[in-house]
Amino acid sequence: MKVLNLKKTAIFTVITLLMSFYSTEAVSSSRIKDIADFEGIRENQLVGYGLVVGLNGTGDNIKSINFAKESLISLLDQVGINSRDGQLKSKNVAAVMVTASLPPFGRQGSRIDVMVSALGDAKNLQGGTLIATPLVAANGEVYAVAQGQVASGAVSARGATQSVTKGVPTSGRIPNGAIIENEVDFSLESMKTIRLALRNPDFTTARRVSDAINALLGIDTAQALDPTTISVDVPSSYEGKIVDLMTKIEQLRVQPDQLAKVVIDESSGIVVIGKDVKINKLAIAQGNLTIKISEVPFVSQPLPFSNGETVVETTTAIDINEDIQSRLAVLETGVNLQELVDGLNALGVTPRDLISILQAIKASGALQADIEVI
């Protein structure tokens, strides 16, 4: 019984270790669909120019916005109303740009969301109605027509002396506001070769993707052409079943590789350090010199029974304070991200100081990573 228990314990330990290793690998790996796109399957940007009507006096001033006036006159002409001889004074109309994304394999009759943004001096588009607006692609062809009531989460209120605005009232959204009228021709079933494009180009990742696909299919049909592109020749067993092949490929898991990089956003003080960032041995000191200048007013009064005047004068006090707690920290060669952060935290550096320190380490040649400032 003791031997049996030992065997059970050993088996349980091995299974636990295997499950732990598998879970670690699964967490660190990513699906191919999350790191790459199939070439040819993408969105197309659409844009159009139109008019929003029915605004409560918050539209364009058509006396000063000439293109809004001409658009309104043209719209009235289309419905048989001649307004060219009259003077238009409406403030319930706004000229807008309409944008949308045509999804891949969008079919005629399907609906898509559109965004509406004011072009002139309109104050608020909330509650207005967009008149039928053709949406064109880069090739100049019309692929959808948008129309509907503009919805906006912004709030704008104005009084005699104050005004309050929350959000952007001059832009809004029309859910399902456009109907697809034209389709983009693209046939999957006739494809003989599938191409994948990595979102973050990398030689190692491209090779890992091609190896994973070849292991799935059992033949060498996938090849990494460059850091971005992986080409897959469709096997004979999947001819006419391209969707099945794509489904299996995009569910494969690979471990993406990445460059050692430090990303710095100087405007907001954000610093992002990649896990593979390494530095050579060096010493870092961070000082904090503070100079404080203050002006202190005081009243000077004349002696009793004298002919003097009471005056207010100022004295200047200058205080120079250098933080005596600043220390010199030594970072060993090849320290990892955690050790680097711990060392810099020991100096009590702020994010702004961290930016300067990292740039100085890079200038010294000790930082084995790229610095990207955004």
Angle between helices 203-217 and 242-250 (to 10 degrees): 120
Whole-angstrom distance, CA of residue 359 vs CA of residue 264 = 10
Give the pLDDT confidence of 211-256 residue by residue, as tens digits.
Answer: 999 999 999 999 999 999 999 999 988 888 899 999 999 999 999 9
Give CA 362 to chain center in angstroms: 27
Closest C-alpha to 94, from 145, 128, 64, 134: 128
Helices in the chain by DSSP H: which ranges? Answer: 2-28, 32-35, 66-78, 203-217, 242-250, 337-346, 351-364
Give the pLDDT confidence of 291-345 residue by residue, as tens digits.
Answer: 454 556 766 777 776 676 777 676 656 554 555 455 555 555 556 656 666 666 6
pTM confidence score = 0.64
CB atoms under 10 Å from CB of 254, counted, come to: 21
CB atoms under 10 Å from CB of 60, counted, come to: 29
- Domains annotated for the chain, with CATH where assigned, are 44-153+164-180 (no CATH), 187-254 (3.30.70), 262-373 (no CATH)
Give CA 201 to chain center in angstroms: 18
